[in-house]
């Protein structure tokens, strides 16, 4: 092959081999820059409004045919038709792995079914590792923060999940590290976040990873959260259930279950006059659990105030914000509950905060019944703007 160089002056005098080396070097340098840019670029995982699929692969004792029938393709079709764009899918370690750490084939098959249904109906999915054997948010002992073996088990869960789910498009499926961490020292959670993200990034540099704040993903804890620098494929998450006396009215699993008096929204959840009329033991029950919040006025302005800390943190880091859980039990007075939902939707969407209500069916929070029938049309209208006929 004959090469001809027609450059003039000094550069024309350089040996041809130098020019060839220069060209090859430039080619590889541009390739490396391009690869780095591609790896570090932001994944377009755009979500706005979703719903949680609880009590299926999480917080449930259902197995076999009963578990398979609880959530089906029909439910995914219904969620899409109602106007949601994603689901948050909680999964528990106890459902997905046996005590020896081996994957449960039936549970993983259901997980894959759900993801394929979501693909079919154009819904995105946030796969949320909800409860660990070493961590449950209401448990007194949480080995995840004290035992190296428990931490390694957690990281292995994500190696397994990444290996199973890596085939799904990064624009469709996101991973939520863990639900509602509760560490005595927030730095204990920060260290686990750092390592868990590194475990996933080893094979999935651009997967969206959802990271929540410490202490039940509280809005108040965002200034204590630490995340890896320069990782733009993170989605920051908080949960919101205030005022608790309204959202968990008569909830059997709470310390305030015995209170059956009036609750209100907007305004003070319980007024001074109502408190004065209660027996002393009931007043102590409420004030011990609600503390200063019993005197707080809750309304849209209060929601905006509470959301400001996570909003500021997200803007500081150039990341999006996600309220992955919020909701009020159907035992709360209907008119007050619906006003609460309306203000929540308004403030979340005004601030461009993506959200997923708790929940779709079951557990007393859902807008469908156990059969997946849309039995709360007013709530659905608030959540998605869709008019449906109650069945």
Cα–Cα distance measured from residue 326 to residue 346, given in angstroms and rounded to the nearest whole number: 13
Q: How confident is the model at residue 389 (pLDDT cuts 50, 70, 90)?
A: confident
pLDDT at residue 1 above 60? no
- 298-327 average pLDDT score: 98
pLDDT at residue 284 above 50? yes
pLDDT digits (tens, 9 = 90+) for 167-203: 999 999 999 999 999 999 999 999 999 999 999 999 9
Q: Which residue has the tokens 């409420």?
A: 286
Structure tokens at 10: 């000094």
- The rounded Cα 225 to chain-centroid distance in angstroms is 15
Percent of the chain past pLDDT 90, that is, above it, reads 85
pLDDT at residue 5 above 70? no
- 271-293 average pLDDT score: 93
Report the pLDDT value the prediction gives residue 54, as an integer from 0 to 100: 96
Q: Domain 47-241+300-384: state its class.
A: alpha beta
Report the pLDDT value the prediction gives residue 15, as an integer from 0 to 100: 55
pLDDT digits (tens, 9 = 90+) for 105-158: 999 999 999 999 999 999 999 999 999 999 998 889 999 999 999 999 999 999
Report the pLDDT value the prediction gives residue 40, as an integer from 0 to 100: 61
Please report the DSSP string for 134-145 in residue order: TB-TT-S--GGG
Please report the DSSP string for 247-313 in residue order: HTTT-TTSTTTT--S---SSEESS-HHHHHTS-HHHHHHHHHHHGGGGGPEESHHHHHHHHHHHHHH
End-to-end CA distance of the chain: 80
Q: How confident is the model at residue 27 (pLDDT cuts 50, 70, 90)?
A: very low
pLDDT at residue 84 above 50? yes
Tell me the pTM. Answer: 0.89
- The rounded Cα 78 to chain-centroid distance in angstroms is 21
How do the domains of the chain map onto residue ranges? Answer: 9-38, 47-241+300-384
- 290-315 average pLDDT score: 96
pLDDT at residue 35 above 80? no
Q: Which residue has the tokens 């943190």?
A: 313
Contact 225, 186 (CB under 8 A): yes
Phi-psi region of 180 (alpha: psi -120 to 50; beta: other; left: phi over 0): left
> Nearest-5° angle of CA 150, CA 153, CA 158?
135
Residues 6+ apart with CB under 8 A from 240: 219, 303, 306, 307, 323, 325, 326, 344
Report the pLDDT value the prediction gives residue 3, as an integer from 0 to 100: 37
pLDDT at residue 208 above 90? yes
């Amino acid at each position: 092959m004959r090469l001809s160089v027609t450059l003039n002056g000094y550069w024309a005098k350089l040996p041809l081999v130098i020019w060839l080396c220069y060209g090859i070097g430039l080619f590889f340098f541009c390739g490396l820059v391009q690869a780095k840019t591609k790896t570090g670029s932001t994944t377009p995982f755009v979500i706005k409004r979703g719903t949680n699929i609880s009590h299926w692969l999480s917080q449930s004792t259902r197995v076999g045919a009963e578990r398979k029938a609880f959530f089906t393709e029909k439910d995914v079709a219904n969620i899409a038709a109602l106007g949601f764009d994603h689901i948050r899918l909680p999964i528990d370690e106890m459902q997905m792995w046996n005590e020896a750490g081996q994957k449960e084939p039936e549970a993983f098959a259901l997980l894959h079914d759900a993801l394929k249904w979501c693909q079919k109906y154009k819904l995105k999915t946030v796969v949320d590792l909800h409860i660990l054997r070493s961590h449950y948010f209401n448990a007194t002992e949480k080995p995840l923060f004290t035992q190296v073996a428990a931490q390694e088990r957690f990281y292995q869960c994500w190696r397994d999940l990444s290996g199973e789910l890596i085939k799904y498009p990064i624009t469709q499926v996101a991973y939520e590290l863990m639900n509602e961490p509760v560490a005595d020292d927030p730095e204990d959670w920060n260290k686990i976040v750092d390592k868990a993200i590194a475990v996933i990034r080893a094979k999935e540099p651009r997967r969206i990873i959802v990271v929540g704040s410490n202490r039940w993903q509280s809005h108040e804890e965002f200034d204590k959260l630490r995340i890896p620098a320069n990782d733009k494929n993170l989605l920051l998450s908080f949960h919101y259930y205030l005022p608790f006396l309204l959202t968990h009215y008569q909830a059997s699993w709470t310390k305030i279950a015995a209170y059956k008096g009036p609750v209100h929204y907007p305004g003070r959840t319980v007024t001074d006059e109502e408190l004065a009329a209660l027996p002393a033991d009931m007043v102590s029950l409420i004030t011990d659990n609600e503390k200063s919040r019993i005197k707080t006025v809750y309304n849209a302005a209060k929601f905006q105030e509470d959301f400001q800390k996570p909003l500021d943190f997200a803007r500081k880091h150039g990341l999006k914000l996600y309220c992955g859980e919020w909701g009020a039990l159907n035992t709360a007075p209907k008119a007050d509950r619906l006003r609460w939902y309306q203000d929540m939707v308004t403030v979340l969407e005004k601030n461009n905060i993506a959200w997923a209500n708790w929940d779709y069916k079951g557990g007393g929070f859902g807008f469908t019944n156990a059969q997946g029938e849309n039995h709360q049309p007013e709530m659905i209208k608030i959540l998605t703007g869709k008019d449906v006929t109650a069945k």
